[in-house]
Every structure is written in structure tokens, then in C-alpha cells.
Structure 1
């Protein structure tokens, strides 16, 4: 099989975008009250909870269509840093029930977004 780095970048973008978007859709239908509560408990303004819609709906859509993918990936990085700091800071050094890292999914989202920032979107993208 011939090398096709642009196809690899597309698969990377789509995988990250679709998987993060599922989390965003859940919040569109379920709301962000849990995130608001976490923010308030850390003495942060509850309104920041609405940023999750940027990080988990708008940013993934940017990746999926390839529109300013690096910006979309950077927004996901910020979203994941907030998630790690607010919801998962006590789990950072824990193993999961099956022996893996408790934060595998969050780590995957964070580092895959960093990879998209570094690699760029590839040629299969929205033209802008």
C-alpha cells in the first residue's frame, strides 16, 4: 500500500472530531449544570460552562469538515485541559478497572488534538 499522509490526517481529524462531538451532543441535550457546579465549587464563574459547547460541538465540527482544523484542535486542547483540571484531577495517577490508565480517553482526546495542531489538516479539507 502506498503512503498517503493526507488520508491519515483525515482519519485522525475525523476520529477526534466525531468522538468529541458525541460528548458535545450529550451536553446539548443534557445541559451543562454539572459543569457549572464543578466551576462554582472551584470559585470560577458558572458561565464558563458554556465554553464546553465551543470545545465539544463547534471545534469537532471544524475538524470534521477541515475548516481551520488547527484552531479547532487547539480549542479541544483547552477543553480537555479544563476537563482534566475540573473533573479528573484526582484520577490523574490512577489505573482503571481493566489495568489501563483511568484517563485514557481524556489523554487520547488531548494528545490527538495536539497531533492535529502539529500535523495540520492535510489536503482533504474545506477550502479557505
Structure 2
């Protein structure tokens, strides 16, 4: 029997997953007023993420796949790690501007990343593919910790490899 908690988790997954799906689609396809990969690549390059086009496509793919997993409630900790990792990278872009979005800060990507991370700990609830196929019984607090560590490591690798590429490529 579903509870209000299950319904709340479904709403949370649909909203966060839907927003990140649209966000990734802006990069990948130019949907929802986005610039597509060619238009977004120069922005990524100004942030030091080079080569821009391949980094845009990687970010968009991870955002779309991770958000789809969250929406479905399928492999929820993996989807949460994918979304959280990309949003940590997004937050890093504006770290020097402080927290608050009104000053160009990282408030919104931090919020998205933390909500995704929280879903790695709570699981998707009963209204999910994970529950339907019996995966939720294997999720634990350790699963959440692993998802957060994977997100942090992936974000670090993306940022570090971009910096390395920036040093070896002309501007």
C-alpha cells in the first residue's frame, strides 16, 4: 500500500528528474530554449571545460540518463549519483560568486545536487520500478553513501580532466 511518503517521493522524483531532463535536453538538442551542443560549447570553454563540445555532450548525456532513472525510480542511487555529480560540476562554475543565485552563485545547482543525493538515501518509494522489481530491499544507508561518493569522484574527475585539457590546448 502506498503512503503519503511514497507519493511525496514520486513528486520529488518527477519534479527534479523533469527539470534536469529538460536542462540536459537544452544542451543536447537545443530544446526548451537551449543552445544545443554547438551553442553551449563556447560557454563550457569559457568555464575551462575543454574541449567544449565533447564536454557538453557528456554532461547532457549524463543529465538525461540520470534524470530518466530518477523519474522512473529505476536504479535510483545510480540516477541520483549521475544527477548530483553533474550538478556539483555546475555549482563549481560559480563557486567564486558565493552561494546566492541573486549574485550569480551556485545556490540552484547545489539544491538540485542535494535533492538528488537525498534520493540516493531515501530510495524511490513504492511507486517506482525499483520497488516493482524488488531492488528497494537491497538499498541501505551505505547505498546512499556510495552514490554520493561516486558523484563527488565523477565531478572531481570531470573538473580535473578539463583543467588538464585546458593546459594542453590552445584557447
Instruction: Identify, as 1 or 2, the structure richer in helix.
Output: 2
Alpha-carbon distance in structure 1 between the residues aligned to 2:79 and 2:11: 15
- Residue aligning to 1:72: 79
Contact 2:101 2:107 in 1 (8 A): no
Contact 1:17 1:63 in 2 (8 A): yes
Alpha-carbon distance in structure 1 between the residues aligned to 2:126 and 2:57: 32
1:103 aligns with 2:110: no
Alpha-carbon distance in structure 1 between the residues aligned to 2:101 and 2:115: 21
Structure 1: tracts of 5 or more residues without a match: none
Report the CA distance between 1:104 and its aligned residue. Answer: 3.0
Please give the residue correspondences for 1:46-57 in structure 2 after superposition, counting only pairs within 5 Å.
46=52, 47-57=54-64
Runs of 4 or more above 6 Å deviation: none
- Residue aligning to 2:159: none
Equivalenced residues, count? 120
Report the CA distance between 1:71 and its aligned residue. Answer: 0.7
Supply the RMSD in Å over aligned alpha carbons: 2.4
1:6 aligns with 2:6: yes
Structure 2: tracts of 5 or more residues without a match: 31-35, 134-171
Which structure carries more relative contact order (alpha carbon 8 Å, separation 6+)?
1
Q: Deviations over 1:47-100 (max 9, x none)?
A: 333321233211111111111111101111110111112x21222244616xxx
